[in-house]
Every structure is written in C-alpha cells, then in structure tokens.
A and B are shown apart, each in its own frame.
Chain A
Amino acid sequence: NAGVTQTPKFQVLKTGQSMTLQCAQDMNHEYMSWYRQDPGMGLRLIHYSVGAGITDQGEVPNGYNVSRSTTEDFPLRLLSAAPSQTSVYFCASSRRGGGANEQFFGPGTRLTVL
C-alpha cells in the first residue's frame, strides 16, 4: 500500500493564480481531511470529508474548495492564491469508527505564494 500520497511536493504560485493540490489514499478510508501547518500554530483543519460526495468546512476554509467524487481522491483547490496561503499542506485519511481516531498523513505539499 502506498498509503496517502500528495502531489506536487513543492509549488510556487503568483498572487491570483489558481491550482489544485492532489491527494489520494489506497486504504479505503471513509474520512479524508486537509490541514495546513504554519509556524507556531500547529496543524489547522481546512476541509474534511466523511465519505464520497460529502464535504464540510473546517477551521480555516476561506479561499479553498474541495470535492470528493471517489473514496480514494480528495483534491484541494486554491481559487485565487494569496501570500497568506503560503504554508505546508497535509492531507490525511482515517477509517470510520473504531475509536482509534488515527489519521494517516501524506508527506505534504510546500506552497509558496509570491
């Protein structure tokens, strides 16, 4: 199993550009989430999905869109990039229930917006 994969690993954008961060998991997990990590702030939840066709906002959703058309994929779209979106983005997945709550994280995408 590849686990959770993310592409690209690095990206530089200009203000106003749009792009999609890709995330895929091969563990048949129901839950998937996107986080951003900023210095001194830990990881903050952007959007999450509890299953195909179902998404919801997290703590910091503004400027981002998501969709979940399949169990495996959960892309994150930046509509019009801003310097405040410079961050490291992590995708995570986990199975429903069981009490373990263990989320598996991808390796991250480092995004710089100029």
Chain B
Amino acid sequence: DQQVKQNSPSLSVQEGRISILNCDYTNSMFDYFLWYKKYPAEGPTFLISISSIKDKNEDGRFTVFLNKSAKHLSLHIVPSQPGDSAVYFCAASGLGNDYKLSFGAGTTVTVRA
C-alpha cells in the first residue's frame, strides 16, 4: 500500500502562471519530505525539501507547504517556465531512516507557451 500518494497524474499550465502539485501521505512517522524533478531518460534530481517542524520552505520560484494535521503537502512553482516541464515526485522519510525514501507515483507537468 502506497504511503505517499500523488493523485493527479498530470498537470498542464500556461507559461508564467502558477503550478500547484499536491501530495498526501498516510504514515504519521514521516518527518522529512522532498520533491524531486525528473526529465525523460535521466535520473531524478532533488528540488526542495521540508522538515516536519516547518510549514513552509521557499527556494526561488519553488515553495513547499506542509500541513501535518492533514498529512498533505504541496509544491508551488511561480512563475512556471517551459523548462519546468517534467515529472515531479513527492517523497518522504521517517526519523532515523533518512536513507529510505517512500515515493509517490509522480505528476507530469506540461508548461504551455
């Protein structure tokens, strides 16, 4: 049973607008959350992360929000650019188990010119 769920397989957004990607988790022991970006024929690359003691982390155009009570996090990309077209994976790990990541199924983002 998947402990990290990304219920939207795809998202299409116009260049310059905001992209919002959602992720839900079921394991209350998760304490660290990450987003990875993946282009075709490449490995995933780390994008941004957030610890469970925070509710927001920002890095340039990327912001991750965490709602622990709802077991929900989201990734905001503002403004969206054509180079952001990729698959985005949400991942989580538990305290003391930072070498074991649980991944969601991914959301394919397409940024339209």
B-binding residues in A (CB < 8 A):
4, 31, 33, 35, 40-45, 48, 50, 58-59, 90, 92, 94, 96-97, 99-108
Which of A50, A100, A103 has most B Cβ within 10 Å? A103
A-binding residues in B (CB < 8 A):
2, 4, 6, 9, 32, 34, 36, 41-46, 49, 51, 89, 91, 93, 98-106
Cβ–Cβ contact B100 & A58, under 8 A? yes
Q: How far is the CA of A106 from the CA of B45 in the complex (A)?
A: 9
Q: How far is the CA of A58 from the CA of B45 in the complex (A)?
A: 21
Task: Say whether, besides A42-B4, A43-B89, A106 and B101 are in contact (CB < 8 Å).
Answer: no
**Minimal beta-carbon separation of B54 from chain A (angstroms):** 12
- A-B complex: 10 closest residue pairs judged by Cβ atoms: A105-B43, A42-B103, A31-B99, A43-B103, A101-B98, A42-B105, A102-B46, A105-B44, A107-B43, A101-B32
Q: How far is the CA of A100 from the CA of B59 in the complex (A)?
A: 14
Q: How far is the CA of A107 from the CA of B38 in the complex (A)?
A: 10
Cβ–Cβ contact B99 & A105, under 8 A? no
Cβ–Cβ contact A105 & B51, under 8 A? no
Residues of B within 8 A of A35 (CB): 103
Task: Say whether, besides A40-B105, A104-B46, A105-B45, A99 and B100 are in contact (CB < 8 Å).
Answer: no
Q: How far is the CA of A45 from the CA of B3 in the complex (A)?
A: 13
Residues of A within 8 A of B103 (CB): 35, 42-44
Cβ–Cβ contact A101 & B93, under 8 A? yes
Excluding A45-B100, A97-B98, A104-B46, 11 further A-B contacts by CB distance (< 8 Å) are A40-B105, A42-B6, A42-B104, A42-B105, A43-B101, A58-B100, A96-B99, A100-B49, A105-B43, A107-B41, A107-B43
Cβ–Cβ contact A102 & B42, under 8 A? no
Cβ–Cβ contact A50 & B99, under 8 A? yes
Residue of B nearest to A39 (CB): B105
Residues of B within 8 A of A31 (CB): 98-99
Q: How far is the CA of A40 from the CA of B105 in the complex (A)?
A: 5
